[in-house]
Amino acid sequence: MQHGPRNKRRIALTFDADLTALMRTRLQRGKVKSYYNEALINELRAMKVPATLFLTGMWMEQYPDRTRELAADPLFELGTHTYDHRGFTKHCYTLGTVPAADMLTDVRRAVEILDKLDAHATRWFRFPGGCYDGTALHELAPAGVTAVGLDVPGADGFAKSPRPIIKQVLSHVQDGSIVVLHMHGGDNAPFTDEAIPEIVRTLRARGYTLVTVTQLMS
């Protein structure tokens, strides 16, 4: 699924929480203070914005209390984003590749972690980098997850200011859009929290209702 119904003024804002082995090393060495953008979550809460959050298993292991806290907030629903954010095809940006034989184990590992932390865990799932093919879909079928794509990449990864993020989202959304942004902040997505207020205000002024993926697809 790349978007919802095109005949309803609804948009799903989704946020990925990436954590890779390299990112975790940067965290442990003090190169990055945190890969949890608390300011972003505070903005979403202040503006009462429902959102679907896709969490890697490694992120949930790093931030179990935060995961429980997000799970308990009725604004949010949580899905998975693999265990350690490796790609499910070759040449998926610079993410590395999960061997086909390990794909199911990788995804189930993240699902099991989420299930322990969230009593309302969804089976929504997002491929890292949006990279997948027939092999990946075949291997993951027994996991019982539903892949959620996007039709609007938010361009917040490594952005230099909030402005390009705002422009990218507002110039590409349409009825039923699924927007992907990031909630890990740090040095990878440092301006998402600053971009969100204007994005939300403008979308609402245009008559859009912001919803979770579950609400979008219902």
Q: What rounded mean pLDDT belongs to the chain?
A: 97
Tell me the chain's radius of gyration from C-alpha atoms.
16
Q: What is the pLDDT of residue 85?
A: 98
Cα–Cα distance between 190 and 130 in angstroms, integer?
A: 21
Among residues 117, 99, 12, the alpha carbon closest in space to that of 55 is found at: 117
Q: Would you say 114 and 78 are in contact if contact means Cβ atoms under 8 Å apart?
A: yes
- Read off the pLDDT of residues 101-157 as tens digits, 9 standing for 90 and up: 999 999 999 999 999 999 999 999 999 999 999 999 999 999 999 999 999 999 999
Report yes or no: 12 and 217 within 8 Å, Cβ to Cβ. no
- Burial (Cβ within 10 Å: 0-12, 13-18, ≥19) of residue 122: buried
Question: By the 8 A CB rule, do 187 and 32 touch?
Answer: yes
pLDDT digits (tens, 9 = 90+) for 43-63: 999 999 999 999 999 999 999
